[in-house]
Structure 1
Amino acid sequence: MKTVFSPLHAGHAGTMELISGAIVPGFEKPSRAEFIRARVESEKLGPILPPEVHDLAAAKRVHRADYIDFLPTVWPQWQAAGREGSAIPFTWPTRGLRGDVLPKSIDAQLGFYSFDGGAPFVKGTWDAIKSSYDVALTAAAVVKGGERAAFALCRPPGHHAGAGFMGGYCYINNAAVAAQWFCDQGAGRVSILDVDYHHGNGTQEIFYSRNDVQVLNLHGDPMVEYPYFLGHADERGEGPGEGFNLNYPMPFGTDWDAWNANLEDACKRLADYAPDVVVVSLGVDTFEKDPISQFKLKSADYPRIGARIAKLGLPTLFVMEGGYAVEEIGVNAVGVLTGFEG
């Protein structure tokens, strides 16, 4: 299996985040991708390719153009305002506040284009975002070119980014971009299978009214787990998309048997949909030692996930999302891929 990877991800480093009442170093850090890359090499999964450079047209097929145009301006605006450290939003135009006017202040713009404070910027953030997007599109082209599967080792991740907002470490929704790209290349149907611990709220929002992209999410119950405000089982799509969005919320402490039962159901629904290609939002923060998650999967479970996806017999693009137990993230992420390869 070919992996696509860019070292430019490393510029998105030294970020801070607010969690449990404290400002702490960001859990989404460069070592995540480096551990996975090293494991790809040690397991001899296949060649590691650099991404080809793309313009932003594909991003604007799933995101609002004004949002995509905003992202490269954040750090220059932050510097022009005389700021240092991480650029983090702290004000949001929520209920009772006007949300239809974009103020000139960079602080206001950060809030206007985000749903939480979990998408900080430093000097190298935009280059990392753009390279992650390039990685996803390059790996998608590998699959379109006839390969059974490819791995987009994206960092930063993407599945919390919606049509016009960032959040949860995510800026451009790489899986959504790839799914739309497959549609634009002639795929009649695409399925996105999101196995990250946290619900892919951005992916759901982007495709909620469409029937050409099926979205299936296995995740922590939003009544008690981030991102809280999407991911319930009764969210099944609307209009033409009704029935094409499927959520599998699960309680804290979910182990392999319970999680796998939902994976099995999701795979059956996916097979019934009969897509031309599958995009897997590959999060491995379902791991029992993950510092910000509450499921109980073990390292031995991840090859089983890959093997079940392989049974679908469909062209498959794996797009890296979350996973924060850094020492094990490489073992678990690549475990899915080696399980898929058999």
Structure 2
Amino acid sequence: MVELDQLQALSARVGADPLLVQAAGGNTSLKDDGVMWIKASGTWLKDAATRDIFVPLDHAAILAALAKNDPACESCTSFIRTDLNSTGLRPSIETTVHALMPQRVVVHVHCVNTIAWAIRADAEQRLSEKLKGFNWAFIPYARPGLPLAGAISSRMRPGVNVLVLGNHGLAVAADSVAEADALLQQVVTAVQRPVRPAAPVDREGLAKISAGTSYAPALMDETHALATDPLSLKRGQSQVFYPDHVVFLGVGVATSFANDPPLIAIPGLGVLIRRDAKPAIEPMGRCLADVMRRVEEEDPLVALTAEDVDRLVNWDAEKYRQTLKVN
């Protein structure tokens, strides 16, 4: 299918941009002849051009189940078109977002500039200035699955093709891959925020402190800003602002070797990553730094509550995603 090939190319390009997608985050989909092809849970969008990462679903069946608030919509595995499914994988944990948008192509990303707005208490008001001219809707935070589906349904209007998900990310939709690509670029440009400079990483200091341990300095300079930018560390050390943070990094950011955390931010020096940590750990650490360098001390941020965190870490769909070795 030509258009699925086009979606794979777009997915790979978007997935390779750390300001849009981190590790297994983000997902894309295409509706064609009653089938909704969506990225499989736990796979990486950047691999879309070289690996079969799309799962076929019965779109009408999902919509019918959503209308009944059917618990099957939590995983959506009941709606897989087994006659077309060659991967054996599960659909994305955010399948309901894609199903509810009527357009043929949906691109959902964890755009750091969008998140930097979407974690504010005044996000909808501030974004109304930035997104003037777009047909968009703000969706207050809800856990992916049925809760998010309900939140979207209550705010959808005819013609809406841009969703800003509170404390989460961005979704754009169109009737072709090219149009979705263009819309994504337009929205990302509209929500750009200034990036606060961070002190440079002290690689020599990190090498000394990690010598003889199971840790090594993070590879990307941007990741080290989590430790060299005081506000980033202050904001992220004890709070969680979006789902993938808690799923991969836990609550807050460790600053010492105690309990062997996968990532350690050494204040003023930089970030260390445990050598056996999952591949997702550094991208998620960098994402936190990238988001926090786009907020200021006086910004009215809203963190996820303890209840929000508990619902995420104990959700079966997230537990499944964590079992996949690619993460």
The TM-score, its normalising length taken from structure 2, stands at 0.24
Q: Compare CA radii of gyration and give the structure with the larger one.
A: 2
